[in-house]
């Protein structure tokens, strides 16, 4: 299994979201087996947070291989499906962050509004560190809501021919082309961009 420092190196920094993705992925692999070399595991992620970088590094599920599916629901929910069995685990984050004082909340709000003074940055770093430590120490049962299920398998990744857009000339995956004014065009040209 990949180590946390390898994931941090890929992502660029350590943060609570990345550590959540690390824990989610470790749980999924413990339940479904080893890292996906091809499309043995499919991950469906319902957000585009830092956690998804950990999912890619640890599980081998990537957009390029077609076994990472993004659903823009804004939810901290991750479903992993094992091929060919359809055995799946759905993991939703149910973690309660450590309590914060009013002063800590105020310093966070100042940071969110662009204050990068030394005292604010120090408070933000302490907040982040406290959350990371909590995530790493919390048991699976207190960190996640877990459902084991059997799911229909999504189609394996397909490779489509690229066709030049008749407006901008850029190559486009064939099923993404549209027809506008009798010309075969890419989606941005179809939408007028």
DSSP code of residue 128:
H
Task: Indicate if 84 and 120 belong to the same structural domain.
Answer: no
Tell me: do 104 and 121 sit in the same domain.
yes
In order of 26, 49, 68, 92, 173, the CA distances from 74 in angstroms are 22, 9, 16, 12, 27
Q: Residues 48, 13: one domain?
A: yes
Give dist(CA 81, CA 180) in Å, integer.
38
166 pLDDT exceeds 90? yes
Question: Using CA of residue 179, residue 184, residue 188, residue 193, what is the dihedral sign?
Answer: negative
The answer to pTM > 0.95 is no
Q: What residue numbers bound the domain in which 165 lies? A: 159-193
pLDDT band (50, 70, 90) for residue 158: confident
Residues 60 and 110 occupy one common structural domain: no
Give the pLDDT score at 7. 96
pLDDT for residue 15? 96
63 and 143 inside one domain: yes
* Domains in the chain, number: 3
Do 52 and 113 sit in the same domain of this protein?
Answer: no
**Residue 1 pLDDT class (50, 70, 90 cuts):** low
Give phi and psi for 126, each to the nearest 5. Answer: -65, -40
What are the strands of the beta sheet with 41-45, ordered from one edge? 68-70, 41-45, 77-82, 87-93, 144-150
- pLDDT for residue 18 is more than 70: yes
Q: Mean pLDDT over residues 166-173, rounded?
A: 95
Residues 124 and 193 in one domain: no
Same domain, 51 and 9: yes
Verify that 24 and 89 share a domain, yes or no.
yes
Q: What is the mean pLDDT of residues 162-171?
A: 95
pLDDT for position 2: 73
């Amino acid at each position: 299994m990949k180590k946390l420092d390898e994931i941090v190196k890929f992502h660029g920094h350590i943060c609570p979201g990345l550590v959540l993705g690390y824990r989610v992925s470790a749980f999924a692999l413990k339940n479904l087996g080893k890292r996906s070399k091809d499309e043995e595991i499919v991950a469906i992620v319902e957000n585009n947070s830092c956690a998804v970088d950990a999912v890619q590094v640890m599980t081998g599920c990537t957009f390029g291989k077609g076994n990472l599916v993004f659903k823009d629901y804004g939810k901290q929910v991750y479903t992993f499906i094992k091929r060919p069995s359809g055995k799946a685990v759905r993991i939703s984050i149910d973690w309660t962050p450590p309590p914060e004082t009013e002063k800590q909340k105020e310093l966070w709000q100042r940071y969110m509004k662009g204050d990068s003074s030394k005292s604010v940055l120090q408070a933000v770093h302490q907040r982040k560190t406290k959350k990371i430590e909590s995530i790493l120490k919390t048991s699976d049962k207190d960190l996640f809501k877990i459902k084991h299920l059997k799911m229909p398998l999504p189609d394996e990744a397909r490779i489509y021919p690229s066709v030049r857009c008749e407006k901008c000339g850029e190559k486009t995956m064939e099923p993404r082309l549209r027809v506008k004014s009798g010309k075969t065009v890419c989606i941005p040209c179809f939408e007028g961009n």
